[in-house]
Amino acid sequence: MRKISDLPIIERAGRNPDHPAIITPAGSFTYGRLLDASHKVASSLLAGADDLKEQRVAFLIPPGFQYVAVQWGIWRAGGIAVPLSVSHPLPELEYVIEDSDAAIVVIHPQFEDRLRPAAERNDRRFLPTADALDAKIASLPDVSVNRRAMILYTSGSTGKPKGVVTSHCNIEAQAMSLISAWEWTCEDRILNVLPLHHIHGIINVLTCALRSGAVCEIFPRFDAAEVWARIMQGGLTLFMAVPTVYVKLIACWEAASAGRQKAMSAACAKMRLLVSGSAAAPVSLIEKWKTISGHVLLERYGMTEIGMALSNPLHGERAPGYVGVPLPDMKVRLVDEDGNLVGPGIQGEIQVKGPAVFAQYWRKPEATRDSFCDGWFRTGDVSVIENGKFRILGRQSVDIIKTGGYKVSALEIEEVLRTHPQIKDCAVVGIEDTEWGERVSAVLMIEHGSALTLGLLRRWAKEKLAAYKVPTRICVLSELPRNNMGKVTKPEIVRLFKTGNGGENS
């Protein structure tokens, strides 16, 4: 019998076709049904061709069964998957489609009116999911694991997001490292509430679950009360989220009656592993969650470009504020500004090497070259090793903001804000926040007589930026603080907000 695919995740699905794979509010879907649906999608994408030959396929689909069927269909047809965010405004979606040069755009019905005109205006093939899932089965190409598989867009210190290209080999390495370290099995069941245009949800949750033959339950959006209700039903073994999600879960628990709190805590304690990542979790949050659930959140460290590189242990002590040691097959080192290795107790930049590390930035050879040093990927994150464990100290660049688990570029936000007719100039920084990690905060120079408020600015900006990139604090100044060379002094802006002179908050 001919094997289903050379791709490990597809081959794994064929071993147990009757086992549940995806569960959503719409129903339960087996691995066999996922294989059938993704075969139809692949056939539709090919449209009579033998192989997509790494054509980019952008898709805008809410988290759920159709999302996975389309992702797998793109891979099985030989294409490169480019997931779009359901929360992003049209300008950001168009940027990703155009930058990736997507030949095909696959759209769920609820987004069809929103994106069809843009896709057709830019001469992209437009494919509704209903048509893709109703296609006649056709022969599929043999897809090598060495092919490029996915492009995820991530913000950097150079303005517009860059496309991070990963191969099937990279994805396999990223998933298997976590499956090994966290002891995934086909008996596991995880609930996903994370967005599926970000590596946390795509790899750590969805791909790890399906690669190990487990069950992934998917909620289309995060709602703290709904998550607690599902936990109380029982059966879940794992849960992964960003610190902001845990803050909201704690608030929901605190608002419950004493009897319900007890039941919530008892149900949560039955799970085997709860993970927090994408941003540092405050020690107070970790301690509060342990009181509620009996679990010490497992913190880990990773990036879109590398998957996960460091992790606290599944078994053994987890130290709050630390992200553990290198994961299987990952090499991690710290270097100083001159590129010299540093020892324990001395801070340095994290550099990573291993099969999980990405292939390239899409069509940015200079950025790709500059991101590596002798084969080591330069993360731009600063850490120190204490008692054998890595502790993250922050970013080298003040222009990177970590908010709600997302990494965003201050320069990108500034570029957009400067297009506002009432803003003469601006500077954007991240201000520490217990719930969000950092809050996007902007200092503005506005036109004389302008009545621009935070509310008016946010309404305008949400048409151009993802909601998590829109400033939640502003301060209006007649001049931006600058040094003798005329460069904006962002540390001074941070101090301005921290001393309470930060103007309006939302």
What is the pLDDT, as a whole number, of residue 424?
86
Q: Give the pLDDT of residue 503.
A: 64
Residue 112 covered by a domain: yes
How far is CA 395 from each of CA 71, 249, 324, 325, 366, rounded to the nearest angstrom? 32, 28, 18, 19, 21
Position 282 scores a pLDDT of 79
Model confidence pLDDT, tens digit, residues 475-492: 999 888 877 556 788 888
**pLDDT band at 408; cut points 50, 70, 90:** confident
User: What b-and-e string marks burial along 134-145, b requiring 16 or more CB atoms within 10 Å of the CB?
Assistant: ebeebebbebee
Range of the domain at 129: 8-144
- Judge whether 66 and 108 are in contact, CB under 8 Å: yes
Burial class of residue 83 in the structure, from the number of CB atoms within 10 Å of its CB (0-12 exposed, 13-18 middle, 19+ buried): buried
Give residue for tokens 């506005």: 446
Q: Which residues lie closer than 8 Å to 336 by C-beta, 6 or more apart?
A: 342, 346, 348, 349
- Is residue 345 a part of any domain in this protein? no
> Considering the entire predicted model, what is its pTM?
0.86
Q: Strand 400-403 vs strand 406-409: parallel, antiparallel, or unpaired?
A: antiparallel
Residue 72, phi then psi, degrees to nearest 5: -65, -40
Tokens of 464: 């151009």
Residue 424, amino acid: K
pLDDT score, position 502:
60
| pLDDT digit string, tens, across residues 28-66 | 999 999 999 999 999 999 999 999 999 999 999 999 999
Q: Does residue 223 belong to any structural domain of this protein? A: no
Question: With DSSP H G I counted as helix, E B as strand and the rest as coil, what are the percentages for the chain, rounded to 5?
Answer: 35, 30, 40
255 class by beta-carbon count within 10 Å (0-12 exposed, 13-18 middle, 19+ buried): exposed
Residue ending a domain, choose from 109, 144, 179: 144
Q: The CATH number of the domain where 488 resides is what?
A: 3.30.300.30
Q: At residue 394, does pLDDT exceed 70?
A: yes
Q: In the chain, pLDDT over 70 holds for what percent of residues?
A: 96
Mean confidence (pLDDT) of the chain: 92
- Check whether 423 has a pLDDT greater than 50: yes
Share above pLDDT 90 across residues of the chain, in percent, rounded to a whole number: 75
H helix or E strand, kind and range, residue 114: helix 112-121
Q: Is residue 477 situated within a structural domain?
A: yes
The number of folded domains in the chain is 2
Instruction: Mean pLDDT check: name the lowest of 196-205, 276-285, 300-309.
Output: 276-285
Asked if the structure places residue 92 within a domain, the reply is: yes
Of the candidates 434, 432, 399, 9, the one whose C-alpha atom is nearest the C-alpha of residue 202 is 9
pLDDT digits (tens, 9 = 90+) for 175-215: 999 999 999 999 999 999 999 999 999 999 999 999 999 99
Of the three residues 144, 167, 184, the one that is the final residue of a domain is 144
Determine the pLDDT at residue 159.
67
- 472 located within any domain: yes
Residues 6+ apart with CB under 8 A from 208: 175, 178, 179, 182, 184, 214
User: Given this model, what pLDDT does residue 210 score?
Assistant: 98
Q: Domain ends where: 144, 170, 197? A: 144
Residue 210 lies in a domain: no
Instruction: Specify if 74 maps to a domain.
Output: yes
| Closest C-alpha to 493, from 450, 451, 430 | 430
434, burial (CB in 10 Å: exposed 0-12, middle 13-18, buried 19+):
exposed
